[in-house]
């Protein structure tokens, strides 16, 4: 069931001026959609309302809501579903966020800290996405920006006549491999000399520090390496520095959960589109970066971001804060637009707090 193309945005005043009866009917339509994913009709709504209204009166209100662009009929004789604009209005103006239960807090605490004990902060990140996926039935995602690590060893290995593999080992045990282009005819001795040159200077220092020092030394003593080897060093440093300026790490858990509530063939197509979107991790990272600015949880619904323009999906994301409360990444959950926003928002917020505390303690 694909909603119609959004109409031009309704003036905020028109939404703010909805009377209590219209808001209550709209709330029931959205809550029914979030629970069942199915359209709801006027007769059923009249039974749900706390006030006595005939189905005909309910239909009149539904017509007004449809003219405002808040709901639509997926079929001529069907009930109504909220539009993307309607979901945004619901989330911003009507949704009540509950407190995270003690049991859910305990599960998040236990699993995140268990992950940290077994695999450090990286293990905690993986466990956090897993527990969020399990609790929300969506796909848990986390983006972190790694700091520039202190290096221990550098080595160049020839791959092809004009390509070499730069292997950089950090003091924390992490290893980065990067393919660099080398000049034609570069002798094997030049690769060895380049590695020795770097290893004599790089241990215990970051790549940016060594880059600055080498640039200075190269200006003072250009003859220490012959011209070809110097070009190899330049290529290796430039390739690595370009990646380390913004090294993004994306962890995705629970993609299978997105298939947990498929109701029709058209829903399967929607899920397939979502999987294709998830494979385009650049778009996901771009979306998560949007959530880094400001405080608190952010909600992206449907085509508010190009990642979800076709898949009919939403993301709930919260910033991770490390030392000095600076942004260290973003934690999020992705799923269908009928996510349980009221439950998942405090869950993502709490998990982000736990990870932030863990990050600041290290």
pLDDT value, residue 56 = 92
Count of other CB atoms within 10 angstroms of residue 303: 17
Read off the tokens for 97.
């966020």
pLDDT for res 263: 46
- Residue 111 is inside which H or E element, if any? helix 102-136
Measure Cα distances from 181 to 154, 197, 253 in Å: 16, 19, 35
Per-residue pLDDT of the chain (362 residues; tens, 9 = 90+): 445 544 445 555 566 678 889 999 999 999 999 988 889 999 999 988 887 888 899 999 999 999 999 999 988 777 899 998 999 999 988 888 878 999 999 999 999 999 988 878 888 888 999 999 999 888 888 877 655 678 888 888 888 888 888 787 888 666 777 777 777 777 888 888 878 877 887 888 876 677 677 666 555 544 443 443 444 445 444 333 444 444 445 555 565 665 555 444 455 455 555 555 554 444 455 555 555 555 578 888 877 766 655 567 888 988 888 766 667 778 989 888 888 899 999 999 999 999 988 877 76
Q: DSSP letters of 154-210?
A: EEEEEEETTEEEEEEEETTS-EEEEEEE--TT--HHHHHHHHHHHHHHHBTEEHHHH
- Beta pairing class for 327-336 and 313-321: antiparallel
**Domains of the chain, start order:** 12-94 (1.10.10.10), 102-146+248-360 (3.30.450.40), 150-244 (3.30.390.60)
In three-state form (DSSP H/G/I as H, E/B as E, the rest C), the secondary structure along 252-303 is EECHHHHHCCCCCHHHHHHHHHHHHHHHCHHHHHHHHHHHHCCCCCEEEEHH
Report the pLDDT value the prediction gives residue 13, as an integer from 0 to 100.
59
């Amino acid at each position: 069931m694909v909603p119609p193309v959004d109409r031009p945005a309704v003036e905020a005043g028109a939404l703010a001026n909805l009377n209590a009866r219209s808001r209550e009917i709209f709330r029931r339509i959205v809550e029914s959609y979030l629970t069942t994913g199915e359209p709801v009709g006027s007769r059923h709504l009249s039974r749900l309302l706390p006030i006595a209204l005939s189905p005909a009166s309910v239909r009149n209100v539904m017509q007004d809501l449809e003219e405002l662009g808040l709901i639509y009929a997926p079929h001529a004789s069907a009930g109504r579903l909220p539009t993307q604009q309607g979901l945004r209005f619901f989330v911003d103006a009507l949704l009540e966020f509950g407190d995270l239960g003690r049991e859910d807090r305990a599960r998040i605490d236990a699993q995140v800290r268990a992950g940290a004990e077994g695999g450090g902060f990286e293990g905690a990140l993986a466990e956090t996405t897993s527990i969020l996926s399990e609790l929300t039935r969506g796909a848990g995602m986390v983006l972190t920006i790694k700091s520039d690590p202190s290096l221990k060893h550098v080595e160049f290995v020839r791959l092809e006549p004009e390509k070499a593999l730069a292997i950089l080992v950090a003091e924390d045990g992490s290893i980065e491999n990067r393919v660099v282009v080398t000049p034609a005819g570069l002798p094997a001795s030049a690769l060895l000399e380049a590695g020795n040159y770097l290893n004599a200077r790089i241990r215990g220092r970051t790549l940016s520090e060594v880059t600055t020092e080498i640039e200075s030394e190269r200006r003072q003593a250009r003859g220490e390496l012959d011209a070809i080897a110097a070009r190899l060093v330049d290529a290796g440093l430039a390739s690595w520095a370009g990646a380390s300026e913004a090294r993004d790490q994306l962890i995705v858990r629970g993609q299978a959960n997105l298939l947990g509530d498929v109701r029709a063939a058209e829903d399967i197509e929607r899920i397939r589109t979502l999987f294709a979107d998830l494979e385009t991790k650049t778009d996901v990272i771009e979306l998560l970066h949007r959530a880094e600015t400001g405080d608190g949880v952010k909600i992206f619904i449907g085509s508010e971001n190009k990642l979800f323009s076709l898949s009919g999906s939403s993301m709930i994301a919260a910033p991770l804060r490390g030392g000095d409360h600076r942004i260290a990444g973003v934690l999020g959950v992705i799923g269908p637009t009928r996510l349980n926003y009221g439950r998942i928002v405090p869950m993502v917020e709490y998990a982000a707090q736990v990870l932030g505390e863990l990050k600041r303690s290290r």
